[in-house]
Amino acid sequence: MIEADIRVKSFGGAPVLRDIRFRVATGEVLAILGPSGIGKSTLLRIVAGIDSAFEGTVARPERLSMAFQEPTLLPWRTVAENLTLVHPSLGREGAVAALARVGIEDRADLFPRQLSLGQQRRVALARAFAGDPEALILDEPFASLDPATADEMLALTEGLIAGSRPATIFVTHSEPEAARLATRILRLGGRPATIRPDKEAG
Ligand SMILES: Nc1ncnc2c1ncn2[C@@H]1O[C@H](COP(=O)(O)OP(=O)(O)OP(=O)(O)O)[C@@H](O)[C@H]1O
Ligand SMILES: [Mg+2]
């Protein structure tokens, strides 16, 4: 279970987020929608515990994984090593098994630059799921992929979430993506950004 109560988040004295409260239970998937620059990644970093410079509280489980907006793989490590570095107990075999879950076990010994962006995103997803997370945070995991690849990644993620049922939060710019994967949608708007009601009058 993730429980967030963010009263204010500011950068250089300027408030970016205000009064954002939500809970995500085990097995729930919360989609966060909102225009570019509104503060979605900032919100995810706060929830993940990477950014603690805000007013408010966040309760999160111990086993939490985050996949960032960029795949953030270490360029001088192979794909398998990128997994074992974060999850040493996997060993090479476990890393290859984790890669098999996203269909790229044949890339285990290549370096990230030898992979397409879609393949790098799969590695990031495999790395996030390899920790058997109780909370999963995904920042635009299907962005800048062609529609077919994005769709395939979405189906993969759907399957992984259904299998291990973490409390999941993901950011997207796509309504259909949100509608398909999420059990709930949270819309951000305004400046500073806050939660928009689902249906606005008028
Ligand atoms: N470390 C920082 N220092 C100062 N300002 C920042 C910092 N990080 C983010 N911001 C500002 O906070 C605002 C929200 O940024 P954020 O990356 O959270 O947006 P976003 O909703 O994720 O956008 P996108 O959809 O383009 O990824 C932006 O105006 C950005 O410039
Ligand atoms: Mg962002």
Question: The domain that contains 47 carries what CATH number?
Answer: 3.40.50.300
User: Three-state DSSP class for 63?
Assistant: coil
- Tell me: the pLDDT tens digits for 54-107? 999 999 999 999 999 899 999 999 999 999 999 999 999 999 999 999 999 999
Contact 4, 22 (CB under 8 A): yes
Q: Which residues pair with 17 in a beta bridge?
A: 9, 193
Co-location of 192 and 159 in the same domain: yes
- Any idea which ligand is nearest the CA of 39? 1
* Residues whose beta carbon lies within 6 Å of some atom of ligand 1: 11, 16, 34, 36-42, 69
Contact 25, 1 (CB under 8 A): yes
- The domain in which residue 45 lies consists of 1-63+132-202
Co-location of 164 and 197 in the same domain: yes
- Return the pLDDT at 202: 40
Question: Ligand 1 pocket: which of 20, 33, 38, 68 to mutate (most atoms <8 Å of CB)?
Answer: 38
Domain presence at residue 21: yes
Question: What is the 158 CA–ligand 1 centroid distance (Å)?
Answer: 27
- Return the pLDDT at 201: 44
Co-location of 54 and 137 in the same domain: yes
Domain presence at residue 47: yes
Co-location of 139 and 198 in the same domain: yes
Nearest Cα residue to atom 18 of ligand 1: 39
Q: How many domains does the chain have?
A: 2
- Give the residue ranges of the chain where pLDDT is below 70: 198-202
Side-chain-facing half-sphere of 99: CA atoms under 13 Å: 24
Q: What is the CA radius of gyration of the chain?
A: 17
- Tell me: the pLDDT tens digits for 92-102? 999 999 999 99
Domain presence at residue 69: no
How are the residues of the chain apportioned to helix, strand and coil, as percentages rounded to the nearest 5? 40, 25, 35
- Any idea which ligand is nearest the CA of 192? 1
